[in-house]
């Protein structure tokens, strides 16, 4: 299982609009950066109370990365309003 599939499997049960999940993977000297975008109505579920859910997701990604000899980081993009 690759890191994008791993993150998607964690996020899918948390959100209502599963079709809006977007993960972009970039690699640089710091390691692998996974950028996550979800529907604006699901942002609260991803971040959690005081950021606890986001922190737990980052911890799981870090452990997954260690197991695969890579450094994984997560960036959660704020959804933009389309007016």
User: Which pLDDT does position 81 carry in this prediction?
Assistant: 61
Instruction: Round to whole Å and give the CA distance between 38 and 35.
Output: 10
Q: CA-CA distance, 15 to 57, in Å (whole number)?
A: 14
Please choose, from the candidates 2, 7, 22, 23, the residue with its C-alpha nearest in 3D space to the C-alpha of residue 58: 7
Assigned domain for 55 exists: yes
Per-residue pLDDT band for 79 (boundaries 50, 70, 90) equals: confident
Q: How many domains does the chain have?
A: 1
Q: Does 7 reside within a domain?
A: yes
Length of the chain: 83
**In a domain? residue 46:** yes
Nearest to 48 by CA among 64, 33, 34, 59: 59
List the domain range (segments joined by +) for residue 70: 3-76
- Residue found under tokens 């209502």: 16
CATH code for position 46: 3.30.300.20
Q: What is the pLDDT of residues 2-60, one digit of tens each?
A: 999 999 999 999 999 999 999 999 998 889 999 999 999 999 999 999 999 999 999 99
Is residue 82, in this structure, part of any structural domain at all?
no
């Amino acid at each position: 299982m690759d890191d994008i599939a791993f993150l998607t499997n964690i996020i899918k049960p948390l959100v209502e609009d599963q079709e809006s999940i977007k993960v972009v993977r970039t690699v640089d000297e710091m390691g692998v950066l996974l950028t996550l975008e979800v529907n604006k109505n699901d942002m609260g579920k991803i971040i959690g109370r005081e950021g606890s859910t986001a922190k737990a997701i980052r911890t799981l990604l870090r452990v997954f990365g260690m197991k695969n000899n890579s450094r994984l980081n997560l960036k959660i993009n704020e959804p933009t309003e389309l007016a």
